[in-house]
Structure 1
Amino acid sequence: MGSSQSKAPPVSPPSPLLRQPWREVSEKYKDNLEFVKSYQPENKQVKHLRILLYGPVGAGKSSFINSVDSVLKGRAAGRAQADAISGKSFTRQYKTFKFRKSPGVTYSFVFNDIMGLEPGPDTGVCEGDLKLALRGHVREGYKFDPDQKLKEGDDGYNSDPTLEDKVHVLVCVVAAAAMSRLSDQMVKKIREVRLAASKLGIPQMAILTKVDEACPEVKKDTGNIYKVKYLKEKVEHFHHQKLGIPENCIFLLKNYSHETESNDKMNAAIVCALKQMLHYGDDYLNDLET
């Protein structure tokens, strides 16, 4: 005769998602985008706030520039060349990216992409060149040479940089899925650049890209970026054990890659990070006036 006791109901696995996002981006998207589009530096010595992107090869620096361009244009854009195959830096020259607002008018911030960092010696961008770029000593169009640091007297050396030439915000770009694989040598290179920026008082941020490749919940729905527990742990790990950048200065996003239409969920995360870059950069420029 069978037992009269009923079987216990199966236990559901814990949800990988938080009930509420730990950083709200969607509700503030329109306000954030309006701020970005209307931004003007308070410091009248500069027309454009300069943001320098750096990080390992393939992290998505050029793709982030294209993503910002896509958000501002409301359609997919691809001005900054990117390469997902070679494993080597596709960016070779120091180039300033401005964003067209209307005929003859650009938005009041610019990006500089730079050759990617590589773990080995004499590969990727020289940390010395990166440090010179912070101080505005790298001329537009300079071609990076991993074997030779730029020096005074070279064609690419700007001996008399203006405040406009200098970097106002430094942003480290790392792919979320590759974060745990950053070598000690790579972390050391990044920290050296961070230390140089700190000595100059330049504000610093980080963006973790390719979150859809790191997490299936985001691949299903980009709106889950700030609800996934795993990605929150990635941010905490990046803060505590990798580079020490404060958690409120670390942002998650997915760059435009295969998408051909504008996506508000992707845009919201991109604009949230961009708005904070402008805030930090403006605070830095304002401090220089006091």
Structure 2
Amino acid sequence: MFGGWFKPKPRPPSPEPFTEEWRKIPWGNKGRDLQFVRDYQPHNDELKQQRILLYGPTGSGKSSFINTVDSVLQGRVTGRASADAIFLESFTKKFRTYKIQKGGPGEFYPFTFTDIMGIEDTNKGACVEDIKLAMRGHIKDGYNFNPASKISEDDHNYNKTPTLNDQVHVLVCVVSATTSNILSAETVTKMRQVRIAANDMGIPQLAILTKIDEACPEVNADIKNVYRSKYLKEKMVDLNVALGIPLNCIFPVKNYHSEIDTDDDIDTLIVSALRQIIHFGEDFVNNL
């Protein structure tokens, strides 16, 4: 039903790359998108910070994506969100929102990233009902996910009266491009349930395809080959077919993991995706 994306089979040799990029990206000019991010301020006076919720299977790179965005905006590699290199189970256990510092102490960018437990099979990972409640703003920071049941309204981490700032303004699905992270049909069903719920709430959605360097040798050799890689485009199409996320809302990126210094080409992909995420969130809030 879901094609090669979800079936554990040996990866075939990479097809010959496209001769031209099928999506244009401003290589060598990350400053344009970076300046947009740095200048962004919500037009809605009630909104202090856009809330960007990341969800996806265990080991997809949600926490690493937060760290990478933080690294790009700080100009140095950071590691505030705890990430793990062993994907036997979700390393993130709690509902946690990350602000990104801008300028001096106490000054932050007007958007936040909320990290949650990964989605897995039955009685594992984040409960879908919890994610739905989180999108409506009913879950507070520090909530410890229970895979078997959703949060109780009597829980001290349940927010009975969420405001606009508590609600989710953009939902971002994070999935690894590597074939080592095989998704079961049940995991995909849960992800689809989250997507449908967000659609019912009118929340805009995008997807981040991580670990593109591990998935494609041509990209590992030169990240600027990302939009020439037929293999990665096939992965994006697979994701489009499985979850229904449009191709122009899927962004392949490489997270920082072995680097000790930032890289302009890695940054370019990140800020290109981040700019679109911010645009989507701004449109949603303004349409409320």
After TM superposition, give the deviation of residue 179 of structure 1 in Å. 8.7
Aligned residues: 274
2:6 is aligned to none
The aligned runs of 1:169-184 (5 Å cut-off) are: 169-178=170-179, 181-184=182-185
After TM superposition, give the deviation of residue 93 of structure 1 in Å. 1.1
After TM superposition, give the deviation of residue 28 of structure 1 in Å. 4.8
2:264 is aligned to 264
Query: Which whole-Å CA distance do the structure 1 matches of 2:232 and 2:148 have between them?
Result: 37
After TM superposition, give the deviation of residue 36 of structure 1 in Å. 0.7
Closer, same or farther: CA 237–28 of 1 in aligned 2, 3 Å: farther
1:146 aligns with 2:147: yes
After TM superposition, give the deviation of residue 180 of structure 1 in Å. 8.4
After TM superposition, give the deviation of residue 25 of structure 1 in Å. 3.7
Query: Which whole-Å CA distance do the structure 2 matches of 1:127 and 1:203 have between them?
Result: 18
The aligned runs of 1:64-79 (5 Å cut-off) are: 64-79=65-80
Stretch moving more, 13-22 or 162-171: 13-22
2:5 is aligned to none
- SS of the counterpart of 2:146? coil
Equivalent pair of 2:28/2:264 in contact (CA under 8 Å)? no
2:108 is aligned to 106
Equivalent pair of 2:59/2:181 in contact (CA under 8 Å)? no
Query: Which whole-Å CA distance do the structure 1 matches of 2:15 and 2:140 have between them?
Result: 53
Equivalent pair of 2:52/2:169 in contact (CA under 8 Å)? yes
Equivalent pair of 2:51/2:170 in contact (CA under 8 Å)? yes
Query: Which whole-Å CA distance do the structure 1 matches of 2:201 and 2:152 have between them?
Result: 19
Equivalent pair of 2:137/2:163 in contact (CA under 8 Å)? yes
2:252 is aligned to 252
TM-score normalised by the chain length of structure 2? 0.92
Stretch moving more, 145-154 or 260-269: 145-154
Query: Which whole-Å CA distance do the structure 2 matches of 1:143 and 1:180 have between them?
Result: 24
Letter in 1 for 2:259: E
Closer, same or farther: CA 166–33 of 1 in aligned 2, 3 Å: same
The aligned runs of 1:193-272 (5 Å cut-off) are: 193-239=194-240, 241-272=241-272
Equivalent pair of 1:18/1:229 in contact (CA under 8 Å)? no
Which whole-Å deviations, capped at 9, do the CAs of 1:149-173 have from their partners, x for residues lacking one?
1021111100000000000000000
Which whole-Å deviations, capped at 9, do the CAs of 1:70-123 have from their partners, x for residues lacking one?
00011100000011115211111111100111222101110000000012x111
Letter in 2 for 1:184: A
Stretch moving more, 58-67 or 137-146: 137-146
Closer, same or farther: CA 275–179 of 1 in aligned 2, 3 Å: farther
- Calculate percent identity across the aligned residue pairs: 52
Equivalent pair of 2:15/2:231 in contact (CA under 8 Å)? no
Query: Which whole-Å CA distance do the structure 2 matches of 1:65 and 1:191 have between them?
Result: 23
Equivalent pair of 1:62/1:80 in contact (CA under 8 Å)? yes
TM-score normalised by the chain length of structure 1? 0.91
Query: Which whole-Å CA distance do the structure 2 matches of 1:127 and 1:282 have between them?
Result: 25
Query: Which whole-Å CA distance do the structure 2 matches of 1:257 and 1:27 have between them?
Result: 22
- Larger of the two Rg values belongs to structure: 1
Letter in 1 for 2:134: A
Equivalent pair of 1:18/1:228 in contact (CA under 8 Å)? no
Query: Which whole-Å CA distance do the structure 2 matches of 1:237 and 1:117 have between them?
Result: 19
After TM superposition, give the deviation of residue 237 of structure 1 in Å. 2.1
1:133 is aligned to 134
Which whole-Å deviations, capped at 9, do the CAs of 1:117-160 have from their partners, x for residues lacking one?
012x1110100110000000001111111122102111110000
1:4 is aligned to none
What is the root-mean-square deviation of aligned Cα atoms in Å? Answer: 1.6
Query: Which whole-Å CA distance do the structure 1 matches of 2:125 and 2:211 have between them?
Result: 21
Query: Which whole-Å CA distance do the structure 1 matches of 2:60 and 2:15 have between them?
Result: 31
Letter in 2 for 1:242: A
